[in-house]
Structure 1
Amino acid sequence: MTTASTQLAAASGLMSLVLFIVAVGVLALLAGGFWMNSRVKYNESPRPRPEEQPKLPPDGPVREVRENRESQEVPQTPKGGRPLTPYELTNMDSRPSASKERPRWSRGSSGSFGGGGLGAH
């Protein structure tokens, strides 16, 4: 072992002082974070009391409504007319369908793309 490596391996008082100051700095940052968090929580509005909690409607819980919906038809372009741009189309709403029969997938198909079925053949 050379003299230079022995001196580098020896504990340096300056190095331990730097590590101590870094540790104190990290602890000060953590303490400051806890202090700031407590200030923010103190300024928040209080939690709602039990009597302020939402209550069920008198008729009980709201149930799911199932209905078939139809979209509006896209306006047809007259012959020789210019096609409509997306900006000229209105918001295409939907309306309740007159038919109460639910649409079904073809038999033997899972209905999803890549679902493993043979598809509509």
Structure 2
Amino acid sequence: MNMEWTDIAAERSVLGGIAPFLGGVVLVAMLVGALWLGARVRAREPRRPRPDEQPRIPEGGPVREERLNREPDEIPKSDYRLTPYEVHGNMGSRPSEDKERPRWSKGGSGSFGSGGLGAH
């Protein structure tokens, strides 16, 4: 075996070991930099509220839910297509005077495809 070939093989094995080592050093440096940058960003954020600064339930108790029924806003019949500015801007409904909440009829399924028995 020639001494020249063994020297080349030794050089390649050293270079083959240095490249992954340098890649690992670069990776660790990037991770440390990311942690450092994250710490700087977090230091600029406002502090978290202390337990005594947390929201409390009002003295009168929890706020109650308010229900509002809406009814459809009728679109006038027309021979031509209406443009958006000709239709009211309240999303097609208005508050209802009726405060009674609509219920499903007894024996009804409640919705399409709910798997109920339905009305007979």
Aligned to 1:47: 48
CA contact (8 A) 1:72 1:93 kept: yes
Name structure 2 gaps, 5 residues minimum. 1-7
State the alpha-carbon separation in 2 of the partners of residues 15 and 86 from structure 1: 69
Deviation (angstroms), 1:71: 1.5
Tell me if structure 1 keeps the 8 A contact 2:72–2:93: yes
Residues 76-95 of structure 1 mapped to structure 2, 5 A cutoff: 76-77=76-77, 81-90=79-88, 91=90, 92-95=92-95
What TM-score, normalized by structure 1, do the two folds share? 0.70
Call closer, same or farther: CA 1:99–1:60 in 2, change over 3 Å: closer
For 1:50 and 1:99, the matched residues in 2 are separated by 40
State the distance in 2 between where 1:29 and 1:36 align.
Answer: 10
The equivalent of 2:103 in structure 1 is 103
Q: Which has the higher helix share?
A: 2
The residue correspondences of 1:1-121 to structure 2 (distance < 5 A) are 12-67=13-68, 69-77=69-77, 81-90=79-88, 91=90, 92-98=92-98, 100=100, 102-105=102-105, 107=107, 109-117=108-116, 119=118
Mapped to 2, the partners of 1:87 and 1:95 lie a distance apart of: 21
Conserved? CA contact 1:77–1:83, under 8 Å: no
- 1:27, CA displacement in angstroms? 0.7
Query: 1:84 corresponds to which letter in structure 2?
Result: L
Q: Distance in 2 between matches of 1:93 and 1:101?
A: 16
Percent sequence identity over matched residues? 39
Query: Any idea what the Cα deviations from partners look like across 1:9-66, whole Å, max 9, x if unmatched?
Result: xx71100011110111111011111111111111111112334322222211112234
Superposition CA RMSD, Å: 2.8
Distance 1:118 1:14, change over 3 A: same
Unaligned runs of 5+ in 1: 1-6
**4+ aligned runs moved over 6 Å, structure 1:** none
